[in-house]
Each structure stands twice: as C-alpha cells, then as structure tokens.
Amino acid sequence: MADVSSTVRRFAFTAAQGGVTAAQGFRSSALHCGIKAKAGALDLIVLASDAPSAVAGIFTTNLVQAAPVIVSKRHLADNRAHARAIVINSGCANACTGPQGLADAEQMTREVAAGLSCDPHHVLVASTGVIGVNLVMDKVVPGIRSAVGSLARGKGNEAARAIMTTDPFPKEHAVVVHTDRGSFTVGGTAKGSGMIEPNMATMLGFLTTDAHVPPPLLRRALIESARDTFNAITVDGECSTNDALFAMASGASGVAIDEESYPALLDALTSVSRELAIAIVRGGEGATKLITVTVHDAPTGDEARQVARTIANSPLVKTAVHGADPNWGRILCSAGRSGVRFDPDRATVHVGGVLLFENGLPHDDAAPAAAEHLKTPDVRIDVTLGSGGGASATIWGCDLSAEYVRINGEYRT
C-alpha cells in the first residue's frame, strides 16, 4: 500500500501485518470447540486487551436481534465504554433462542471474565451462523477456558479464519499511522458473505488501535468510518439478526487522539474498514464480480447513497452484470424507483467508463465496449443525475449467480 500524506493532514499510512492484533496491547486465540461439524474447523475466538480499553459498537437495525447483540448492548451501557475482551463464535448465531440464548451469551462473557479477572460487563460477545439453534455450552465453555489460556500476539489470521461461515476467504487488514505526535496502528478483521445489506451489513467486524482515544471520539470515528465502508456494501439486500461492528483502543502506543488529531484516526479506520468491506462483497455468496456503483451530482449525499444502493440491490441489474449484458435501462429504471427526484433527460449512465445513456437517449452503438467491460471481475457503473447538487456516493455490490441460489437453498441442510 502506498504512503498517503499531505502538508495539511500531516500524517501518512504504511501497510502493516497482523490484522486485528497488529495494534499493541491486543492478543487473541482461536480454536475448534465443536460448534462446527467439520473436525478442526476454527469456531471460537477470544480477542483481549492487556488492560481496559475504550470500546465502541454499532449493531444491526433489524428488530429481530440475536442474544449476543442484546447482551453486548447491555454491557456497553454498563461498562462506561471500556472493555477487556470480545468472545466470538461461528457456526451458531444464537438468534431466536429465547431466554436460554440470553443466558448462554451471558455465560460466555462470565467465562472470559473469570479467566481475565475482570468484570463480566467488560466482556462483549458476538455470534454468527445458523439462526434458531442453541449453543452447546458443554463444548463452548471448555473452549473459552482453553482460548483464554492461550492468548498471544500474532494470531490475527487465525481469528480471521475462525469467524468465517460461508466466507470463501479470511479478511484482515492493518495500517501504521505516522503523525507528528508519533505512530499508532489500526487493524481489523471482518466476516460476511451472505445476508449483506447496509444499516448494518450482515457481518461481524472488529477493529483495534493502540492510540489513546476517549470513548466519545472512538464512537464518533466508528460511526463516521462505517458510513461509507461497512454501511456502503450489499450482497443481497438482507439485514440480519447478528450484525455487529466493534472498535477497541488500548492506548498502548502512547499517541493521544483529540480533535486536532482526530482526522488521522478517522482516515485510518476508514482505510482499514474499506479494505474489509470491499473484501466482504468480493467474497459474497456466489459472487463472480465486484460492482462499484457511484452516483454523481445528486441533491445530497444521502440521496446519492439511496440511488446507488437501489441500483446495487436490483436483482435485474445484478443478473445483467452476471451475464455481461450492458442493459442501461435496468440501471436507469432502478435509479428512477429509488425515491430520489431527478430529471431523466439530464441523467447519464456509464458502464466501465462507456457512455450508454445521455439526454434521454441511448448510445447503443457503445454497447459492445460496455459488454467487454462487464466480462471483467471489477465492474464500474456511474450514474449522473444532473441535479446540480454536486453530491456523490459509492455503494459496492456483486452479481447474482446460480451459485448464490444453491448456497442459500441448501444453507440449513
């Protein structure tokens, strides 16, 4: 990754190794405790900070919320935005599991707290997998005890692999931020492949930094960075029960973040989150193509996002991209039903930089060039609304293939 800096920003990034444990003050452990049927498949993770860290979290907007989401929200309200650890399992969502599910999630936090000698409210919990199935705590509890006893640096990749469900590959990224106050690191990992839709995406995400960040600033940076990263992706337009995104700040680097240095933290969180978010879409269930939809010259940024999201979520657009069909009509019609007002006679549609629609008329002679672009794994769709507002936004999505239908038709069986 190239350095990025300017005399105005006074900071630069360099790529780092280590993922979610790249930042100082964090250790992790991942193992197979038996939630996943496949022998040896990693399915339990503990991510811990060496000392109480500032923490922030944002969660699914679905009214149906899993037990770990409910418990983590409670703990965040009770722990004054500080935490020691997050315990995560894959293979079972612990969602729609009633009082027993809540009790199991609470027990998971107590087991980690006992091992770290901290208050259970300083432990958060996240789960991913099949909905409506209870955890087998006779397997989970010994797994947690073993994981807490084997925490170490340098295990970030194991954590990235352990949170996977239908993900085709692990996702992790980290950067070192060089500032005039010193250097600090931001790292992270995420999972997600199906049931992906903004607000939040159906995913789990974990970000860490060794900067010293007051909890209000950390929450602000997490929300702002997620807006155009984790909340700007879609695979199938489905919002899940378990979505959660956490950020922890250990302060171990000694670099303090305040209003003046806040842009460095925000840009670093955004940089790491963008890499992870795009990787989620690239690894979407059955996906063969990443689609970048950018809407230009909308009245406001929110309206630009609304149009771009509608296009990216359209099954007709997604299938046209899958079949390399430069069907600009589907794109324009999706924009038209987005709820954002614009004049179609002032709009333009480009696919891969090829102009297909302008001033209310098609450019069908350019269709073959656009079709060639649609055969590539990275597809660009640009729609200009011509509103004069000047706002733009990007949403990342993927194509819709028969493999997506197969995966989800057989998910529980």
Q: Which residues are catalytic?
A: 202
Q: Checking DSSP bridges between strand 171-179 and strand 11-15, what pairing results, if any?
A: antiparallel
Q: What are phi and psi of 200, to 5 degrees?
A: -85, 180
Alpha carbon distance, N-terminus to C-terminus of the chain = 41
- Residue 60 gets the label, from left (phi > 0), alpha (psi -120 to 50) or beta, of beta
Q: What are phi and psi of 298, to 5 degrees?
A: -90, 165
Cα–Cα–Cα angle for 290, 322, 296, rounded to 5 degrees: 50
Cα distances (angstroms) measured from residue 166 to each of 101, 161, 169, 172, 261: 23, 11, 9, 16, 38
Q: Checking DSSP bridges between strand 348-351 and strand 354-358, what pairing results, if any?
A: antiparallel
C-beta atoms surrounding 336 within 10 Å: 15
Cα–Cα–Cα angle for 331, 168, 271, rounded to 5 degrees: 65
CA dist 189 and 309 (Å) reads 24
